[in-house]
């Protein structure tokens, strides 16, 4: 297993003018802080002999709570802490309250490590430059209806709620909390929050059709760039357990949704999105013109 880093690392990829992908590796301090906060919160919900609610030491709390549930809560808390710092460090503000979408997570409670990736929706910003007296070809900045619809769908996806899936198996786009236990016990185990269909081939194929609490024993072929070097590039016989399964439920595209984005109606929202996209394209085109000059 790779040694934990002592400094948060962030890899930023600008996917388009309105979306940034952040790949974040939290510091052990951030993860320990998340674990401590989670255990403190959990200690307030249980009666521990000899301690007032919320005052028991973490090691004592662990013996009186559902540790697997605590691990899931701690993973969520670690992502929230890491994301907050990453957004601040990268000077990013999600578009009008839209929530960044968690794409992948690797959380190890015992080793105090957490790696995750999120897509952050942004509001386009325009900074006009001076081009007086210069000549260059300016591309067309026209935005299609399809582009407007696609961006609105992206916002709806970012604001989607999660609904437990109980009557069917996992499908592409579902969110699953997965526990992987290699047959080789020396490799430990890992819990992931994943989007089904967006992990790696052998895991995606395994997850399809699985229900919450299902367990399968399969051979997983981990990609060469897998976060844990001890697993990367290897074919490992593993037990795969789906701890929970949820499906995104998009908000209705109605007046209430539009008003939550500071628009008066759906048509007004489309108009504002079109304007924002046009400005983003115009800025990109200006950059292209500047390169020509």
Between 99 and 79, the higher pLDDT residue = 79
- How many CA atoms lie less than 13 Å away from 46 in the CB half-sphere? 18
What residue has token string 């001890």?
230
Residue 146 tokens, joined:
């399809």
Across 102-119, average pLDDT: 90
1-123: CATH number: 3.30.70.1050
What does the DSSP 8-state code read for residue 251? Answer: P
**Residue-averaged pLDDT of the chain:** 84
**Does 191 have pLDDT greater than 80?**
yes
What does pTM read for this prediction? 0.48
How far is it, in rounded angstroms, from Cα 34 to Cα 14? Answer: 28
pLDDT tier, 288 (very low <50, low <70, confident <90, very high otherwise): low
% of the chain with per-residue pLDDT over 90: 42
10 Å CB burial of residue 1 (0-12, 13-18, 19+) is middle
What single string gives the DSSP state of each residue in 211-263? -TT-EEEEEEE--TT-SSTTTTT-EEEEEEEEEEEEEEEPPPSSHHHHHHTT-
pLDDT number for residue 223: 92
Nearest to 23 by CA among 11, 14, 8: 11
Domain ranges for the chain, please list them: 1-123
CA 32 to mean position of chain CA atoms: 20
pLDDT tier, 3 (very low <50, low <70, confident <90, very high otherwise): very low
Residue 265 tokens, joined:
């109606």
Phi and psi, residue 58, nearest 5°: -55, -45
- Provide the β-strand partners of residue 221: 235
How far is it, in rounded angstroms, from Cα 174 to Cα 198? Answer: 10
How far is it, in rounded angstroms, from Cα 47 to Cα 202? Answer: 43
Residue 217, SS3?
Answer: strand
How far is it, in rounded angstroms, from Cα 141 to Cα 147? Answer: 12
- Provide the β-strand partners of residue 242: 178
Neighbours of 92 (CB within 10 A): 16
pLDDT number for residue 137: 56
Q: What is the CA radius of gyration of the chain?
A: 23
pLDDT tens track for 33-74: 999 888 888 777 777 777 777 677 777 777 777 778 788 888
């Amino acid at each position: 297993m790779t040694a934990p880093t002592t400094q948060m690392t962030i890899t930023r990829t600008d996917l388009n003018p309105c979306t940034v992908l952040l790949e974040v590796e939290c510091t052990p301090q951030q993860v320990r802080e998340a674990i401590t906060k989670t255990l403190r919160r959990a200690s307030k919900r249980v009666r521990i002999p000899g301690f007032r609610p919320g005052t028991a030491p973490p090691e004592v709390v662990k013996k009186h709570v559902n540790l697997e549930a605590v691990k899931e809560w701690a993973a969520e808390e670690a992502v929230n802490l890491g994301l907050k710092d990453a957004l601040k460090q990268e000077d990013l503000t999600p578009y009008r309250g839209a929530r960044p979408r968690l794409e992948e997570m690797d959380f190890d409670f015992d080793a105090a490590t957490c790696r995750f990736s999120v897509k952050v929706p942004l509001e386009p910003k325009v900074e006009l430059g001076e081009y007086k007296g210069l000549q260059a070809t300016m591309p067309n900045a026209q935005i299609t209806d399809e582009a407007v619809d696609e961006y609105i769908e992206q916002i709806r996806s970012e604001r989607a709620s999660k609904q437990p899936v109980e009557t069917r198996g996992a499908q592409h786009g579902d969110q699953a909390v997965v526990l992987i236990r290699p047959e080789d016990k020396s490799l430990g185990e890992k819990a992931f929050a994943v989007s089904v269909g967006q992990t790696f081939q052998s895991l995606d194929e395994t997850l399809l059709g699985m229900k919450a609490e299902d367990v399968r024993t399969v051979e997983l072929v981990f990609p060469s760039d897998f976060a844990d070097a001890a697993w990367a590039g290897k074919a490992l016989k593993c037990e795969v357990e789906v701890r929970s399964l949820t499906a995104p439920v998009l908000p209705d595209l109605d007046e209430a949704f539009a008003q939550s984005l500071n628009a008066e109606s759906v048509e007004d929202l489309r108009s504002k999105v079109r304007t924002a996209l046009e400005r983003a394209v115009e800025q990109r085109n200006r950059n292209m013109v500047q390169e020509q000059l």
